[in-house]
Protein backbone atom coordinates (compact mmCIF):
# COMPACT_ATOMS: atom_id res chain seq x y z
CA UNK A 1 0.00 0.00 0.00
CA UNK A 2 2.99 2.29 0.45
CA UNK A 3 3.13 2.77 -3.32
CA UNK A 4 -0.11 4.77 -3.21
CA UNK A 5 1.03 8.37 -3.03
CA UNK A 6 -2.06 10.28 -4.20
CA UNK A 7 -2.76 13.23 -1.91
CA UNK A 8 -4.94 16.31 -2.16
CA UNK A 9 -1.97 18.33 -3.44
CA UNK A 10 -1.04 15.75 -6.13
CA UNK A 11 -4.71 15.64 -7.17
CA UNK A 12 -4.75 19.40 -7.50
CA UNK A 13 -1.68 19.20 -9.73
CA UNK A 14 -3.40 16.45 -11.71
CA UNK A 15 -6.10 19.01 -12.50
CA UNK A 16 -3.69 20.23 -15.19
CA UNK A 17 -4.95 17.27 -17.24
CA UNK A 18 -8.48 18.69 -17.12
CA UNK A 19 -7.07 21.99 -18.38
CA UNK A 20 -5.62 20.10 -21.37
CA UNK A 21 -9.13 18.90 -22.28
CA UNK A 22 -10.54 22.41 -21.73
CA UNK A 23 -7.87 24.00 -23.93
CA UNK A 24 -8.48 21.47 -26.73
CA UNK A 25 -12.23 22.16 -26.49
CA UNK A 26 -11.63 25.93 -26.61
CA UNK A 27 -9.10 25.88 -29.48
CA UNK A 28 -11.23 23.53 -31.59
CA UNK A 29 -14.43 25.46 -30.69
CA UNK A 30 -16.13 22.25 -29.54
CA UNK A 31 -18.36 24.10 -26.99
CA UNK A 32 -17.82 21.36 -24.44
CA UNK A 33 -16.17 23.46 -21.72
CA UNK A 34 -19.39 23.69 -19.68
CA UNK A 35 -19.93 19.92 -19.93
CA UNK A 36 -16.32 19.23 -18.90
CA UNK A 37 -16.48 21.55 -15.88
CA UNK A 38 -19.87 20.23 -14.70
CA UNK A 39 -18.68 16.64 -15.32
CA UNK A 40 -15.48 17.16 -13.33
CA UNK A 41 -17.30 18.85 -10.41
CA UNK A 42 -19.91 16.08 -10.33
CA UNK A 43 -17.26 13.36 -10.49
CA UNK A 44 -15.27 14.90 -7.62
CA UNK A 45 -18.35 15.37 -5.41
CA UNK A 46 -19.90 11.96 -6.22
CA UNK A 47 -16.66 10.05 -5.74
CA UNK A 48 -15.82 11.88 -2.52
CA UNK A 49 -19.26 11.09 -1.10
CA UNK A 50 -19.05 7.46 -2.21
CA UNK A 51 -15.57 7.27 -0.65
CA UNK A 52 -16.91 8.36 2.73
CA UNK A 53 -20.00 6.12 2.44
CA UNK A 54 -17.84 3.12 1.56
CA UNK A 55 -15.48 3.89 4.42
CA UNK A 56 -18.47 3.88 6.78
CA UNK A 57 -20.01 0.70 5.31
CA UNK A 58 -16.71 -1.20 5.39
CA UNK A 59 -16.02 -0.10 8.94
CA UNK A 60 -19.55 -1.02 10.09
CA UNK A 61 -19.19 -4.49 8.45
CA UNK A 62 -22.96 -5.09 8.77
CA UNK A 63 -24.76 -7.56 6.48
CA UNK A 64 -27.92 -5.42 6.26
CA UNK A 65 -25.93 -2.35 5.36
CA UNK A 66 -24.10 -4.37 2.69
CA UNK A 67 -27.47 -5.56 1.31
CA UNK A 68 -28.75 -1.97 1.35
CA UNK A 69 -25.75 -0.96 -0.80
CA UNK A 70 -26.53 -3.85 -3.16
CA UNK A 71 -30.15 -2.67 -3.51
CA UNK A 72 -29.15 0.98 -4.04
CA UNK A 73 -26.65 0.02 -6.76
CA UNK A 74 -29.16 -2.27 -8.51
CA UNK A 75 -31.94 0.35 -8.38
CA UNK A 76 -29.67 3.10 -9.66
CA UNK A 77 -28.33 0.94 -12.50
CA UNK A 78 -31.90 -0.07 -13.44
CA UNK A 79 -33.07 3.52 -13.46
CA UNK A 80 -30.22 4.50 -15.78
CA UNK A 81 -30.74 1.46 -18.02
CA UNK A 82 -34.48 2.26 -18.14
CA UNK A 83 -33.70 5.77 -19.37
CA UNK A 84 -31.78 4.21 -22.25
CA UNK A 85 -35.00 2.40 -23.22
CA UNK A 86 -35.81 5.48 -25.30
CA UNK A 87 -39.59 5.12 -25.21
CA UNK A 88 -39.81 1.35 -24.82
CA UNK A 89 -42.62 0.83 -22.26
CA UNK A 90 -41.73 -0.74 -18.90
CA UNK A 91 -38.02 -0.32 -19.65
CA UNK A 92 -37.28 0.37 -15.96
CA UNK A 93 -39.16 -2.70 -14.72
CA UNK A 94 -37.48 -4.94 -17.33
CA UNK A 95 -34.07 -3.50 -16.48
CA UNK A 96 -34.68 -3.94 -12.75
CA UNK A 97 -35.51 -7.62 -13.18
CA UNK A 98 -32.57 -8.16 -15.56
CA UNK A 99 -30.04 -6.38 -13.35
CA UNK A 100 -31.38 -7.89 -10.11
CA UNK A 101 -31.34 -11.47 -11.45
CA UNK A 102 -28.02 -11.05 -13.30
CA UNK A 103 -26.28 -9.49 -10.31
CA UNK A 104 -27.76 -11.90 -7.76
CA UNK A 105 -26.90 -15.06 -9.71
CA UNK A 106 -23.36 -13.90 -10.42
CA UNK A 107 -22.70 -12.69 -6.89
CA UNK A 108 -24.22 -15.82 -5.35
CA UNK A 109 -22.02 -18.02 -7.57
CA UNK A 110 -18.90 -16.07 -6.59
CA UNK A 111 -19.73 -16.21 -2.87
CA UNK A 112 -20.81 -19.87 -2.87
CA UNK A 113 -17.70 -20.97 -4.80
CA UNK A 114 -15.54 -19.05 -2.34
CA UNK A 115 -14.16 -16.66 -4.98
CA UNK A 116 -15.18 -13.69 -2.85
CA UNK A 117 -16.36 -13.29 0.73
CA UNK A 118 -19.62 -11.75 1.89
CA UNK A 119 -17.89 -8.71 3.34
CA UNK A 120 -18.69 -5.13 2.31
CA UNK A 121 -15.23 -4.36 0.89
CA UNK A 122 -15.71 -7.19 -1.62
CA UNK A 123 -19.50 -7.31 -2.15
CA UNK A 124 -20.06 -3.58 -2.75
CA UNK A 125 -17.39 -3.00 -5.44
CA UNK A 126 -18.14 -6.30 -7.19
CA UNK A 127 -21.89 -5.48 -7.19
CA UNK A 128 -21.04 -2.13 -8.76
CA UNK A 129 -18.91 -3.77 -11.45
CA UNK A 130 -21.57 -6.34 -12.32
CA UNK A 131 -24.55 -3.94 -12.24
CA UNK A 132 -22.80 -1.28 -14.31
CA UNK A 133 -21.80 -3.79 -16.97
CA UNK A 134 -25.34 -5.16 -17.18
CA UNK A 135 -26.62 -1.57 -17.35
CA UNK A 136 -24.41 -0.83 -20.35
CA UNK A 137 -25.37 -4.15 -21.99
CA UNK A 138 -29.10 -3.42 -21.54
CA UNK A 139 -28.65 0.06 -23.03
CA UNK A 140 -27.06 -1.51 -26.11
CA UNK A 141 -29.81 -4.14 -26.30
CA UNK A 142 -32.57 -1.51 -26.20
CA UNK A 143 -30.86 0.70 -28.77
CA UNK A 144 -30.28 -2.20 -31.14
CA UNK A 145 -33.81 -3.52 -30.63
CA UNK A 146 -35.48 -0.20 -31.40
CA UNK A 147 -33.32 0.36 -34.45
CA UNK A 148 -33.80 -3.13 -35.88
CA UNK A 149 -37.55 -3.10 -35.28
CA UNK A 150 -37.59 0.15 -37.27
CA UNK A 151 -35.33 -1.19 -40.03
CA UNK A 152 -37.03 -4.57 -40.32
CA UNK A 153 -40.64 -3.69 -39.50
CA UNK A 154 -41.78 -4.78 -42.97
CA UNK A 155 -40.33 -8.24 -42.40
CA UNK A 156 -41.98 -8.46 -38.98
CA UNK A 157 -45.32 -7.45 -40.52
CA UNK A 158 -44.99 -10.11 -43.21
CA UNK A 159 -44.19 -12.80 -40.69
CA UNK A 160 -47.18 -11.79 -38.58
CA UNK A 161 -49.36 -11.82 -41.71
CA UNK A 162 -48.23 -15.39 -42.34
CA UNK A 163 -49.58 -16.38 -38.94
CA UNK A 164 -46.34 -16.28 -36.95
CA UNK A 165 -46.40 -15.62 -33.23
CA UNK A 166 -44.70 -12.42 -32.08
CA UNK A 167 -41.66 -14.35 -30.89
CA UNK A 168 -41.11 -16.09 -34.22
CA UNK A 169 -41.76 -12.81 -36.05
CA UNK A 170 -39.08 -11.06 -33.96
CA UNK A 171 -36.61 -13.91 -33.49
CA UNK A 172 -33.87 -12.40 -35.68
CA UNK A 173 -34.21 -9.04 -33.94
CA UNK A 174 -34.21 -10.73 -30.55
CA UNK A 175 -31.02 -12.66 -31.32
CA UNK A 176 -29.24 -9.63 -32.77
CA UNK A 177 -30.21 -7.50 -29.78
CA UNK A 178 -29.01 -10.05 -27.22
CA UNK A 179 -25.78 -10.36 -29.19
CA UNK A 180 -25.32 -6.58 -29.27
CA UNK A 181 -25.54 -6.49 -25.46
CA UNK A 182 -22.96 -9.24 -25.03
CA UNK A 183 -20.61 -8.25 -27.85
CA UNK A 184 -18.54 -5.55 -26.04
CA UNK A 185 -17.81 -7.97 -23.20
CA UNK A 186 -16.80 -10.70 -25.66
CA UNK A 187 -14.66 -8.23 -27.63
CA UNK A 188 -12.90 -6.96 -24.52
CA UNK A 189 -12.14 -10.52 -23.40
CA UNK A 190 -10.25 -11.14 -26.62
CA UNK A 191 -7.82 -8.27 -25.97
CA UNK A 192 -7.44 -8.74 -22.21
CA UNK A 193 -3.82 -8.43 -21.21
CA UNK A 194 -2.78 -7.63 -24.77
CA UNK A 195 -4.34 -4.19 -25.07
CA UNK A 196 -5.86 -3.46 -21.71
CA UNK A 197 -5.01 -4.20 -18.11
CA UNK A 198 -8.52 -3.77 -16.76
CA UNK A 199 -9.61 -2.00 -13.60
CA UNK A 200 -9.61 -4.81 -11.09
CA UNK A 201 -6.19 -6.10 -12.12
CA UNK A 202 -4.65 -2.62 -12.44
CA UNK A 203 -6.01 -1.65 -9.04
CA UNK A 204 -4.52 -4.68 -7.34
CA UNK A 205 -1.14 -4.22 -9.05
CA UNK A 206 -1.23 -0.53 -8.03
CA UNK A 207 -1.83 -1.59 -4.47
CA UNK A 208 1.24 -3.79 -4.55
CA UNK A 209 -0.39 -7.21 -5.05
CA UNK A 210 1.58 -9.85 -6.96
CA UNK A 211 0.55 -9.48 -10.67
CA UNK A 212 0.03 -13.26 -10.96
CA UNK A 213 -2.52 -13.09 -8.14
CA UNK A 214 -4.05 -9.96 -9.67
CA UNK A 215 -4.52 -11.83 -12.93
CA UNK A 216 -6.46 -14.57 -11.13
CA UNK A 217 -8.89 -11.93 -9.89
CA UNK A 218 -9.15 -10.49 -13.38
CA UNK A 219 -9.97 -13.92 -14.79
CA UNK A 220 -12.70 -14.23 -12.18
CA UNK A 221 -14.04 -10.79 -13.17
CA UNK A 222 -14.03 -11.85 -16.82
CA UNK A 223 -16.11 -14.95 -16.05
CA UNK A 224 -18.39 -12.86 -13.87
CA UNK A 225 -19.03 -10.17 -16.51
CA UNK A 226 -19.60 -12.72 -19.23
CA UNK A 227 -22.27 -14.45 -17.17
CA UNK A 228 -23.91 -11.29 -15.89
CA UNK A 229 -24.14 -9.50 -19.27
CA UNK A 230 -25.55 -12.69 -20.83
CA UNK A 231 -28.24 -13.00 -18.16
CA UNK A 232 -29.03 -9.27 -18.23
CA UNK A 233 -29.19 -9.11 -22.04
CA UNK A 234 -31.44 -12.17 -22.35
CA UNK A 235 -33.90 -11.05 -19.69
CA UNK A 236 -34.15 -7.45 -20.90
CA UNK A 237 -34.54 -8.49 -24.57
CA UNK A 238 -37.14 -11.16 -23.86
CA UNK A 239 -39.16 -8.66 -21.84
CA UNK A 240 -38.45 -5.76 -24.19
CA UNK A 241 -39.50 -7.20 -27.56
CA UNK A 242 -43.04 -7.87 -26.32
CA UNK A 243 -43.49 -4.13 -25.81
CA UNK A 244 -43.33 -3.66 -29.58
CA UNK A 245 -46.67 -5.45 -29.94
CA UNK A 246 -50.14 -4.79 -28.59
CA UNK A 247 -52.55 -7.30 -27.08
CA UNK A 248 -53.83 -8.27 -30.56
CA UNK A 249 -50.25 -9.16 -31.55
CA UNK A 250 -50.08 -6.20 -33.91
CA UNK A 251 -46.90 -4.20 -34.38
CA UNK A 252 -46.99 -1.07 -32.23
CA UNK A 253 -46.23 1.63 -34.81
CA UNK A 254 -45.74 4.34 -32.20
CA UNK A 255 -42.51 2.71 -31.07
CA UNK A 256 -41.08 2.54 -34.56
CA UNK A 257 -39.54 5.81 -35.56
CA UNK B 1 -74.45 -17.54 -50.21
CA UNK B 2 -72.67 -17.47 -46.83
CA UNK B 3 -70.92 -14.30 -45.85
CA UNK B 4 -67.29 -14.63 -44.89
CA UNK B 5 -66.93 -10.98 -43.84
CA UNK B 6 -69.53 -8.56 -42.49
CA UNK B 7 -68.15 -5.07 -41.93
CA UNK B 8 -70.38 -2.85 -39.80
CA UNK B 9 -69.97 0.93 -39.43
CA UNK B 10 -66.20 0.60 -39.44
CA UNK B 11 -64.02 3.69 -38.96
CA UNK B 12 -60.31 4.15 -38.56
CA UNK B 13 -58.43 7.26 -37.65
CA UNK B 14 -54.89 8.22 -36.74
CA UNK B 15 -54.87 11.26 -34.46
CA UNK B 16 -57.39 13.63 -36.02
CA UNK B 17 -57.07 12.15 -39.51
CA UNK B 18 -60.04 9.99 -40.48
CA UNK B 19 -58.81 7.32 -42.88
CA UNK B 20 -61.96 5.17 -43.03
CA UNK B 21 -65.47 6.49 -42.35
CA UNK B 22 -68.43 4.28 -41.46
CA UNK B 23 -67.72 1.44 -43.88
CA UNK B 24 -70.44 -1.19 -44.30
CA UNK B 25 -69.66 -4.18 -46.47
CA UNK B 26 -70.59 -7.84 -46.87
CA UNK B 27 -68.24 -10.26 -48.64
CA UNK B 28 -69.44 -13.68 -49.73
CA UNK B 29 -67.44 -16.88 -49.34
CA UNK B 30 -65.49 -17.93 -52.41
CA UNK B 31 -65.68 -14.50 -54.02
CA UNK B 32 -62.82 -12.94 -56.02
CA UNK B 33 -63.41 -9.32 -55.06
CA UNK B 34 -61.41 -6.50 -56.59
CA UNK B 35 -60.96 -3.41 -54.42
CA UNK B 36 -60.27 -0.20 -56.28
CA UNK B 37 -59.88 3.47 -55.48
CA UNK B 38 -57.37 6.29 -55.66
CA UNK B 39 -54.08 6.12 -53.76
CA UNK B 40 -54.57 7.11 -50.13
CA UNK B 41 -58.31 6.39 -50.24
CA UNK B 42 -58.07 3.81 -47.43
CA UNK B 43 -58.14 0.53 -49.40
CA UNK B 44 -55.02 -0.93 -47.82
CA UNK B 45 -56.09 0.23 -44.37
CA UNK B 46 -59.41 -1.59 -44.75
CA UNK B 47 -57.60 -4.72 -45.93
CA UNK B 48 -55.15 -4.55 -43.03
CA UNK B 49 -58.04 -4.31 -40.61
CA UNK B 50 -59.67 -7.36 -42.23
CA UNK B 51 -56.33 -9.20 -41.86
CA UNK B 52 -56.11 -8.10 -38.19
CA UNK B 53 -52.80 -6.38 -38.83
CA UNK B 54 -54.31 -3.24 -37.29
CA UNK B 55 -57.56 -2.70 -35.37
CA UNK B 56 -60.44 -0.42 -36.30
CA UNK B 57 -61.04 2.68 -34.18
CA UNK B 58 -64.78 1.90 -34.10
CA UNK B 59 -67.25 -0.46 -35.72
CA UNK B 60 -67.08 -4.19 -36.11
CA UNK B 61 -65.81 -6.90 -38.44
CA UNK B 62 -67.42 -10.34 -38.35
CA UNK B 63 -65.53 -13.29 -39.82
CA UNK B 64 -67.77 -16.30 -40.45
CA UNK B 65 -70.35 -14.59 -38.21
CA UNK B 66 -68.00 -13.98 -35.30
CA UNK B 67 -66.24 -10.77 -34.26
CA UNK B 68 -62.58 -11.01 -35.29
CA UNK B 69 -61.50 -10.00 -31.77
CA UNK B 70 -62.94 -13.32 -30.58
CA UNK B 71 -60.34 -15.22 -32.61
CA UNK B 72 -56.84 -15.77 -31.36
CA UNK B 73 -54.73 -13.45 -33.58
CA UNK B 74 -52.28 -16.09 -34.79
CA UNK B 75 -55.01 -18.60 -35.61
CA UNK B 76 -56.98 -15.85 -37.38
CA UNK B 77 -54.04 -14.77 -39.57
CA UNK B 78 -53.57 -18.34 -40.68
CA UNK B 79 -57.18 -18.22 -41.92
CA UNK B 80 -56.99 -14.71 -43.38
CA UNK B 81 -53.60 -14.22 -45.02
CA UNK B 82 -52.25 -10.89 -46.26
CA UNK B 83 -49.83 -10.57 -49.18
CA UNK B 84 -47.81 -7.37 -49.52
CA UNK B 85 -47.04 -5.25 -52.57
CA UNK B 86 -43.28 -5.34 -52.08
CA UNK B 87 -42.52 -8.43 -50.05
CA UNK B 88 -39.15 -9.08 -48.46
CA UNK B 89 -37.71 -12.55 -48.60
CA UNK B 90 -36.50 -13.84 -45.22
CA UNK B 91 -33.16 -15.44 -44.44
CA UNK B 92 -30.63 -16.50 -47.02
CA UNK B 93 -32.31 -18.97 -49.35
CA UNK B 94 -35.69 -19.53 -50.97
CA UNK B 95 -36.03 -22.55 -48.69
CA UNK B 96 -35.88 -20.29 -45.61
CA UNK B 97 -39.02 -18.64 -46.97
CA UNK B 98 -40.91 -21.73 -48.01
CA UNK B 99 -40.02 -23.47 -44.74
CA UNK B 100 -41.44 -20.56 -42.75
CA UNK B 101 -45.14 -21.57 -43.01
CA UNK B 102 -44.13 -25.05 -41.76
CA UNK B 103 -42.16 -23.48 -38.91
CA UNK B 104 -45.19 -21.34 -37.99
CA UNK B 105 -47.33 -24.49 -37.74
CA UNK B 106 -44.54 -26.52 -36.09
CA UNK B 107 -44.58 -29.05 -38.93
CA UNK B 108 -41.75 -30.77 -40.79
CA UNK B 109 -40.74 -29.24 -44.12
CA UNK B 110 -42.50 -31.15 -46.92
CA UNK B 111 -40.16 -30.93 -49.90
CA UNK B 112 -42.54 -32.74 -52.29
CA UNK B 113 -45.37 -30.33 -51.51
CA UNK B 114 -43.07 -27.34 -51.91
CA UNK B 115 -41.83 -28.57 -55.31
CA UNK B 116 -45.41 -29.04 -56.56
CA UNK B 117 -46.26 -25.48 -55.44
CA UNK B 118 -43.12 -24.08 -57.08
CA UNK B 119 -44.12 -25.76 -60.34
CA UNK B 120 -47.54 -24.14 -60.08
CA UNK B 121 -45.79 -20.76 -60.49
CA UNK B 122 -43.38 -21.95 -63.19
CA UNK B 123 -40.39 -22.38 -60.85
CA UNK B 124 -38.55 -25.67 -60.55
CA UNK B 125 -37.03 -27.46 -57.57
CA UNK B 126 -33.58 -25.92 -58.12
CA UNK B 127 -35.06 -22.70 -56.72
CA UNK B 128 -35.30 -24.20 -53.23
CA UNK B 129 -31.59 -23.74 -52.58
CA UNK B 130 -31.24 -20.47 -54.48
CA UNK B 131 -30.03 -17.42 -52.63
CA UNK B 132 -32.74 -14.81 -52.09
CA UNK B 133 -30.39 -12.35 -53.78
CA UNK B 134 -30.42 -14.39 -56.98
CA UNK B 135 -34.15 -14.26 -57.72
CA UNK B 136 -35.80 -11.60 -59.90
CA UNK B 137 -38.57 -9.25 -58.72
CA UNK B 138 -41.27 -11.37 -60.36
CA UNK B 139 -39.88 -14.60 -58.90
CA UNK B 140 -39.66 -12.94 -55.51
CA UNK B 141 -43.35 -12.04 -55.58
CA UNK B 142 -44.31 -15.57 -56.71
CA UNK B 143 -42.24 -17.12 -53.89
CA UNK B 144 -43.76 -14.68 -51.40
CA UNK B 145 -47.28 -15.64 -52.52
CA UNK B 146 -46.42 -19.32 -52.08
CA UNK B 147 -45.62 -18.56 -48.44
CA UNK B 148 -49.23 -17.39 -48.07
CA UNK B 149 -50.67 -20.38 -49.93
CA UNK B 150 -48.63 -23.44 -48.84
CA UNK B 151 -51.23 -23.96 -46.13
CA UNK B 152 -54.25 -22.51 -47.95
CA UNK B 153 -56.08 -19.92 -45.86
CA UNK B 154 -59.82 -19.23 -46.13
CA UNK B 155 -59.17 -15.71 -47.39
CA UNK B 156 -56.19 -14.28 -49.24
CA UNK B 157 -55.84 -10.50 -49.32
CA UNK B 158 -53.48 -9.31 -52.04
CA UNK B 159 -52.36 -5.68 -51.84
CA UNK B 160 -51.22 -4.68 -55.35
CA UNK B 161 -49.10 -7.82 -55.62
CA UNK B 162 -48.81 -7.53 -59.40
CA UNK B 163 -47.71 -3.88 -59.36
CA UNK B 164 -44.37 -3.61 -61.11
CA UNK B 165 -44.52 -7.13 -62.56
CA UNK B 166 -44.13 -7.77 -66.28
CA UNK B 167 -46.92 -9.34 -68.35
CA UNK B 168 -45.52 -12.85 -68.03
CA UNK B 169 -45.19 -12.70 -64.24
CA UNK B 170 -48.64 -11.13 -63.93
CA UNK B 171 -50.15 -13.97 -65.98
CA UNK B 172 -48.49 -16.60 -63.76
CA UNK B 173 -49.79 -14.90 -60.60
CA UNK B 174 -53.31 -14.54 -62.09
CA UNK B 175 -53.37 -18.21 -63.12
CA UNK B 176 -52.34 -19.36 -59.65
CA UNK B 177 -54.82 -17.12 -57.85
CA UNK B 178 -57.64 -18.19 -60.21
CA UNK B 179 -56.87 -21.84 -59.50
CA UNK B 180 -57.02 -21.30 -55.75
CA UNK B 181 -60.20 -19.26 -56.10
CA UNK B 182 -61.81 -22.09 -58.07
CA UNK B 183 -60.90 -24.42 -55.19
CA UNK B 184 -62.90 -22.16 -52.85
CA UNK B 185 -60.38 -19.57 -51.65
CA UNK B 186 -61.92 -16.13 -51.11
CA UNK B 187 -59.64 -13.47 -52.61
CA UNK B 188 -59.70 -9.74 -51.94
CA UNK B 189 -57.50 -8.01 -54.47
CA UNK B 190 -56.42 -4.39 -54.14
CA UNK B 191 -55.26 -3.10 -57.49
CA UNK B 192 -54.65 -0.07 -59.68
CA UNK B 193 -53.99 -2.23 -62.73
CA UNK B 194 -56.35 -1.30 -65.60
CA UNK B 195 -56.54 -4.82 -67.07
CA UNK B 196 -57.24 -6.36 -63.66
CA UNK B 197 -59.97 -3.77 -63.01
CA UNK B 198 -61.53 -4.37 -66.43
CA UNK B 199 -61.63 -8.14 -66.11
CA UNK B 200 -62.92 -8.09 -62.51
CA UNK B 201 -66.32 -9.71 -62.08
CA UNK B 202 -66.92 -8.23 -58.62
CA UNK B 203 -65.53 -4.96 -57.42
CA UNK B 204 -65.95 -2.30 -54.77
CA UNK B 205 -64.53 1.19 -54.70
CA UNK B 206 -63.26 3.17 -51.75
CA UNK B 207 -63.05 6.93 -52.13
CA UNK B 208 -61.92 9.32 -49.38
CA UNK B 209 -62.30 6.59 -46.80
CA UNK B 210 -65.89 5.83 -47.79
CA UNK B 211 -67.61 3.20 -49.91
CA UNK B 212 -68.35 4.65 -53.35
CA UNK B 213 -71.86 3.79 -54.52
CA UNK B 214 -71.99 4.91 -58.11
ipTM: 0.94
Contacts by A128-131, CB closer than 8 A, 24 or more apart: A128/A73, A129/A199, A129/A200, A129/A221, A129/A224, A129/A225, A130/A102, A130/A103, A130/A106, A130/A224, A130/A225, A130/A228, A131/A73, A131/A74, A131/A76, A131/A77, A131/A99, A131/A103
Asked whether residue B12 is domain-assigned, the answer is no
Asked whether residue B24 is domain-assigned, the answer is no
Q: Residue A257's pLDDT is what? A: 67
Closest chain B CA to residue A249: B73
User: A90 exposed, middle or buried (CB, 10 Å; 0-12, 13-18, 19+)?
Assistant: middle
Quote the domain boundaries for residue B191: 30-44+72-212
Stretch B75-101: mean pLDDT: 95
CB contact under 8 A, B55 and A248: yes
Confidence band for A201, pLDDT divided at 50, 70 and 90: confident
At B112, which CATH number?
3.40.50.300
Strands (E), B68-191: 80-83, 155-159, 186-190
Asked whether residue B1 is domain-assigned, the answer is no
Q: Return the H-helix or E-strand segment holding B175.
A: helix B167-182
pLDDT higher than 90, residue A6 = no
Asked whether residue B84 is domain-assigned, the answer is yes
Q: Residue A200's pLDDT is what? A: 80
Sequence-ordered alpha helix ranges (H) in chain A: 8-14, 16-27, 33-60, 63-83, 91-112, 120-151, 153-161, 166-190, 199-206, 211-240
Number of domains into which chain B is organized: 1
Task: For A42-98, write each residue's pLDDT tens digit.
Answer: 999 999 999 999 999 999 999 999 999 999 999 999 999 999 888 899 999 999 999
Asked whether residue B91 is domain-assigned, the answer is yes
Q: Residue A3's pLDDT is what? A: 64
Asked whether residue B182 is domain-assigned, the answer is yes
Stretch B55-67: mean pLDDT: 96
Asked whether residue B203 is domain-assigned, the answer is yes
Contacts of B105 in chain A (CB under 8 A): 163
CB contact under 8 A, A160 and B100: no
CB contact under 8 A, A162 and B148: yes
Residue in B55, B73, B89 to test binding to A, most A beta-carbons within 10 Å: B73
**Contact with chain B for residue A159, Cβ under 8 A:** yes
Asked whether residue B78 is domain-assigned, the answer is yes
CB contact under 8 A, B88 and A158: yes
Q: Residue A8's pLDDT is what? A: 84
Amino acid sequence: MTNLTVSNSTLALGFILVLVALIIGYVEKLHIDKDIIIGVIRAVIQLSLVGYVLKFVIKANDNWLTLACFIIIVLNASWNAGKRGNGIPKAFQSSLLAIFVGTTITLATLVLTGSIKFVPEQIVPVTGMIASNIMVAIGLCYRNMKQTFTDRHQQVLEKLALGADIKLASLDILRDSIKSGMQPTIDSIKTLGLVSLPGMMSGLIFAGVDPVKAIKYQIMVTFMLLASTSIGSIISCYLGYKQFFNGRKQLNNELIS
Amino acid sequence: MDKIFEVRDLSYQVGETKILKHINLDIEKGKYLTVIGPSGSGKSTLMRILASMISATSGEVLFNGQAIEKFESIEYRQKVSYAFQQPTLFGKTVKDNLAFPFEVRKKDFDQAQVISYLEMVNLNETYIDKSVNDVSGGEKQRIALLRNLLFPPEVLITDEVTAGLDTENKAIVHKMLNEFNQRGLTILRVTHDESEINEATAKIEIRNGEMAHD
